[in-house]
Structures are given as C-alpha cells and as structure tokens.
Structure 1
Amino acid sequence: MIAVTGVSGLLGRLVVEDLLQSVEAKNLLAIVRSPSKVSDLAERGVQVRASDYNDQAAMQQALAGVEKLLLISSSEVGQRAVQHRNVIEAAKAAGVKLIAYTSLLHADSSPLGLAGEHVATEKMLKDSGIPFVLLRNGWYTENYIASVPPALQHGVFIGSAGEGKIASASRADYAAAAAKVMTLDNQAGKVYELAGDRGWTLAELAAEVSKQSGKTVAYQNLAEADFTAALLGAGLPGGLAAMLANSDIGASKGGLFDDGRQLSQLIGRPTTTLEESVRAALSAL
C-alpha cells in the first residue's frame, strides 16, 4: 500500500490523482486531518484515514499496513521539525518500508532560511533506519504567479530576488515526479534535485506578463526589509511575509536555481514553462 500525507492540500491531492493513473485505488491511502475534504476520493475507492502531524499515536494507527509513505512537508513553518519527527517515528513503529520526503532544492547548501527544517528532517530520516528517498523540490511557479493580478493592477512586480535565476516548475510537475517515484523500485538512498528546465528572473517574469497581457509591468527590486513591509501591507501574516522575502534573497544568491533537469527526466516530459504558467494565470482573470 502507498500512503500520502496532506492529501487535502494542493500538492497531495495532485499526487493521488497521478497515482490513480497507475495504481489501483484500493492500494492507495490518503491521510488527512479532515476526511470529509477528500470524500470524493473515498467514493472512488481510495482508503482515507484521519491523522495529524501533531498526533504520533494517531499517525501510527493510520500507517498500519503501509509499505511506502510519501511524507509531504508540513505547511506550518517553524513547527515542521517536531511534526515530521512524529510522522517518522510513527512510520518506524508501523513498519513502513520506504519514506519519500518532499524536501527543498539543494537543502544541505541552500541559502534559504526554509532549509533548516528540511535539513533537520533529512537527518531524522537518516537516523531512523528506514530506507528513504529525498525529493528536493525547487520553487513552485505558482508562488510567483499568485502576484500577477496585483502586478497588473499597479503596473509593477515587486520582489527581492535581483538577477537571481529561478528554475521553477508547476505544482503539477512536482506532483508527477512524486507519484512516479512512489511507483518505481529501488529508490532507497536516492536524492532528486528537482527544478524546472529553464531558469528565469523576476524581471523576465514581469516582461512575460507585459507581453501576454498588453499592459506594461515593470520589475522593482526591493531590500528585504522593504519587501517584507510591502507584503505585510498587502495583508500577509508576519511569518509568511518574512519567509517570502527571505526566500527572494536566497534566490538572489542562486538558491532556487538548478540546471540538472532531473525533474523533466523523471516525469518523461519537459516541465511547464513560465510562458504557459503566465498564460494560464491571465486566462483565469
């Protein structure tokens, strides 16, 4: 049986949908806090069990009979290390044979502040004795595409990434990679550095939005503190604003770039281009 955590989230849901293309529903387990959010998957034959990253005992029960587990990193930055430890210890107690973990691109050398909890989790996996595979995901293109509407409204796209190249891919690309790894044999010990086929700068993103929308959008590079303040002014929570600004600074230092093309090799097709992502975003407006 293959289990996926966080299936009510955007990535987890996509992974299960991909797995359903090659794995019988009865052999898939969706682990969620609220089963009602994935009731449609249950109706299609997917097993659904309730658990929470904060409840190790419940997680151990949920993982009964599971052979492979995809641990999708928690969305609660700052609490990830403790939560991931709960899942890993529960998996060990339940006899899980392989854990795949969604880490961060080049986590062990990344300049992003987000890397710390991922590195800690990778060490937990090594210390656990459970065979594991690391899916070191780069940035989702959606992280930046979400800012297209305000950029069009104000004629400016703001950030702190400077000329840093961002080799992003769509969430669907990363989901396809995770699903593929869960169905392959002999994955224990592998480390995948996953990123988009082509890197781009925020200035290039602004130019692409201008080109496709017919409205002039310029890129304005800000100091980290100024970008954080702007995000706070836009209504983002303090922790999220600080994380996004810090990640942009990390991008300016090359932290979100990789040209190894392991992602497209794994999924057997080119990754979603920036042009395609911008087109989809504009068509949704």
Structure 2
Amino acid sequence: MITVTGATGHLGRLVIEDLLARGVAAGDIVAAVRTPDKAGDLADRGVIVREADYTRPETLTTAFAGTDRLLLVSSDDIGLRVQQHLNAIDAAAKAGVRLVAYTSLLRADTSGMILAAEHVATEQALAESGLPHTLLRNGWYVENYTSMLSIALEHGALVRSTGQGRISGTARADYAGAAAAVLTGEGHAGAVYELAGDTAFTLTELATIVTDISGTTVTYQDLPPEQFAAMLVGVGVPDGIAKALADSDLAVKRGALYSDSTDLTRLLGRPTTTPTEVVRAALAS
C-alpha cells in the first residue's frame, strides 16, 4: 500500500495521477487528506480516501494502517510544521511503514532560508526515528511565479526581490514524478535527492519568456525585500508569511535555489520541463 499525504493539494494530486499512470492499482493507493469530502473524485476512481490531519495524531495512526510506503508531503502551515511532521513520523513508525519519502527543500541544510529550518528539523527527526527514508529536496516550482501571471500581465511587471539570482526550477509535475518514482522503485532508502530543473532562469529572463509568448510586454521589477514584504501584507498576506517569502527571494539572490544536480532528470528518466513550457501551459489554461 502506498499512502500520499496532502493528497488534495497540488503536489499530492499530481503524485497520485503519476502513480496511476505507472500502473499502480487505485485500490493500492491511500489518499490521506485533512478533508475527505474534497477527495470524492479520487474515491470515485477507486483510490482509498482516509482522513489524516497532522494536528490530530489519532487520524494519522488510522490513515497509515497497512502502509508500506509513505509520501510525507510537507505541511503548508509555516511556523507550525515541525510538530505536525513529528506527529506523522511517529504514526508512521507505529504503523510499521517500510519507507518514508519526505518533500524537503533544495539544499535545506545549507540554504539558510527561513523556510529551510522546519525542513531541517524534520529531516533530523526522520534520521532519529530509525525509519528507512528518502529526502526529496525539491527546488522551486515555476508555478510559484506563473500563478501570478494575470497580475503581471495586467500591470506589465513581474515584481519580486530576487535580483538576478538564478532559479533551477521546473514544473510541479516533475517533482511529483520523482516522488512517484521513489515510491514505486527500489534502492532509495537513505538517499538524499537534490531535485532541480535542468534550465535555470532569472526572473528577468522569465519576464522575457512571458512577453514573447503572450505578446504583452512584461518586465521584471526588483524591489528591496522590506518593500516587497510590505506589498504582500498590503494585499492580505500574513506578516510572517510575507517575511518568509521576502527572505526566500533574498535566498534566490544569493544562489540558494540554483543547482546543477541531475538527480531529478535521473529519477524521471527524461529532461525536466522548461520554464518556457510551463509559461506556455499557464497562459493556455
């Protein structure tokens, strides 16, 4: 049995789709979700749906029962994730899970990003648990930027604080594919995979790609991080998250999200999706 947490999220759904495409029977996949009603479409296809709330350990114990391999998708509750992940790791140990794959952050142990701290703590907890595990250190999704294309096109500007830092990003589906490869493959226990796209880009270059494909001129506007954080707060982003996002942009500026690792390509067995392909798909949708 393969269990995927956060299965109604963007990444979790893509992992389940990839598992099904690889021939894993729907009845051998558990979609572990906080709100089962949101996974009705998966249940209709034969996927087993179980409640799994990181803040309620009793639901995790039930959700992980009979699980052989578990994908622990990191929580999106920034600042609260460590205890939530500890709850999941404890439940996995009690369930006798034979492999835990965890979605961490590219070079989490050296990046210095605010967002990295909770990932590092989770990685340490996995090491101390004695559970066989694999670290999937995901780089940035290009969708982190294409999700805001409508705003960029409206104002003619892509606004961040990354400077000319290069980002080794790729499509979210590529990271999902790597997770599915680990969940269905052998020999991954103990591995630390630095997952990065083959084509690195700056946001200036991404703005040019958007301009070329859309026909609307979009330029990259670089803001001081404090101003960028204040802008985010002004549109309703909580202060702590705004500061973490601005810090992430500073990390990009100093090269923390650039990598020449080929781990992702090797796991996929193909080149990663280019930023141009992601932008084209976003504009077509």
Q: How would you bin the TM-score normalised by the shorter chain?
A: over 0.9
- Stretch deviating more after TM superposition (260-269 or 105-114): 260-269
SS at match of 2:74: coil
C-alpha distance in 1, partners of 2:44/2:279?
34
Name the structure 2 match of 1:9.
9
Structure 1 residue 187, shift from structure 2 partner: 1.2
Structure 1 residue 82, shift from structure 2 partner: 0.4
Name the structure 1 match of 2:218.
217
1:212-243, Cα deviation, whole Å (9 max, x unpaired): 22222221111110111122223333233222
Structure 1 residue 141, shift from structure 2 partner: 0.5
C-alpha distance in 2, partners of 1:108/1:102?
14
1:104-163, Cα deviation, whole Å (9 max, x unpaired): 000000121100000000000000001100000000111011222111111121111111
SS at match of 2:38: helix
Q: Tell me if the contact between 1:107 and 1:119 (Cα under 8 Å) persists in the aligned partners.
A: yes
Count of matched residue pairs? 284
Name the structure 2 match of 1:148.
149
Q: Tell me if the contact between 1:25 and 1:45 (Cα under 8 Å) persists in the aligned partners.
A: yes
Name the structure 2 match of 1:45.
46
Q: Tell me if the contact between 1:198 and 1:259 (Cα under 8 Å) persists in the aligned partners.
A: no
1:48-87, Cα deviation, whole Å (9 max, x unpaired): 1112001112211211111111000001111110000000
Structure 1 residue 205, shift from structure 2 partner: 0.8
1:235-254, Cα deviation, whole Å (9 max, x unpaired): 33323322221111000111
1:157-176, Cα deviation, whole Å (9 max, x unpaired): 11111111001111111111
SS at match of 1:248: helix
C-alpha distance in 2, partners of 1:110/1:147?
25
C-alpha distance in 1, partners of 2:221/2:194?
30
| Aligned 1:2-151 pairs, distance under 5 A | 2-21=2-21, 22-151=23-152
C-alpha distance in 2, partners of 1:142/1:234?
20
C-alpha distance in 2, partners of 1:280/1:68?
32
Structure 1 residue 211, shift from structure 2 partner: 1.5
Name the structure 2 match of 1:192.
193
Identity across the alignment (%):
54
C-alpha distance in 1, partners of 2:153/2:92?
46
Q: Residue 237 in 1 paired to residue 238 in 2?
A: yes
Is there any run of 5+ residues in structure 2 with no aligned partner, and where?
A: none
Q: Tell me if the contact between 1:111 and 1:253 (Cα under 8 Å) persists in the aligned partners.
A: no
Name the structure 1 match of 2:283.
282
What TM-score, normalized by structure 1, do the two folds share? 0.97
Name the structure 2 match of 1:169.
170
C-alpha distance in 1, partners of 2:240/2:125?
25
C-alpha distance in 1, partners of 2:205/2:235?
23
- Stretch deviating more after TM superposition (257-266 or 120-129): 257-266
C-alpha distance in 1, partners of 2:57/2:235?
37
C-alpha distance in 2, partners of 1:277/1:95?
39
Letter matched to residue 8 of structure 2: S
C-alpha distance in 2, partners of 1:153/1:42?
39
RMSD over equivalenced CA pairs, Å:
1.1
Q: Which runs of 4+ in 1 moved over 4 A?
A: none
Name the structure 1 match of 2:204.
203
Letter matched to residue 242 of structure 1: K
Q: Residue 157 in 1 paired to residue 147 in 2?
A: no
SS at match of 2:109: helix
Name the structure 1 match of 2:184.
183
SS at match of 1:108: coil
Q: Tell me if the contact between 1:70 and 1:99 (Cα under 8 Å) persists in the aligned partners.
A: yes
C-alpha distance in 2, partners of 1:155/1:18?
36
C-alpha distance in 2, partners of 1:42/1:23?
15
SS at match of 1:282: helix
C-alpha distance in 2, partners of 1:9/1:208?
27
Is there any run of 5+ residues in structure 1 with no aligned partner, and where?
A: none
C-alpha distance in 2, partners of 1:92/1:66?
11
What TM-score, normalized by structure 2, do the two folds share? 0.97
